[in-house]
Amino acid sequence: MLESEIVKLREAVEALTAALEKNPVAAASTPTVKEVPKNQDEPPKNQDGVTIETLKDAALKASRAGHKAAIRAKLAELGASKLQDISPKHSVVFYNWLNTLEAK
């Protein structure tokens, strides 16, 4: 019985793989962010595209790269103790700042 279930699963995976090869799924797009202004306290005019999920992903990546203390310091500088506390006007600034950490 178990062997027949494994055969069915293998066949299903092969069918799904063939279907995906015929119709590939488009990659998820990342938000476009304008250049960081020279004065990082002023957010860019366009704040679209930066969500709390985007911030979480970028912060997690930077934290895993060893920038945990810098992230906490920047949050404090922006008057927040956690990502959810960042004001909308600072979200793009923080996102751009996180991206500069990844470049280092």
For residue range 16-51, list pLDDT tens digits in order. 888 888 887 665 566 666 665 555 554 444 445 788
pTM as predicted: 0.52
Write down the H helix ranges in the chain: 2-22, 52-62, 68-77, 88-103
**What value does the mean pLDDT take over residues 54-58?**
90
Burial class for 83, CB neighbours closer than 10 Å (0-12, 13-18, 19+): middle
Model confidence band, residue 90 (pLDDT cutoffs 50, 70, 90): confident
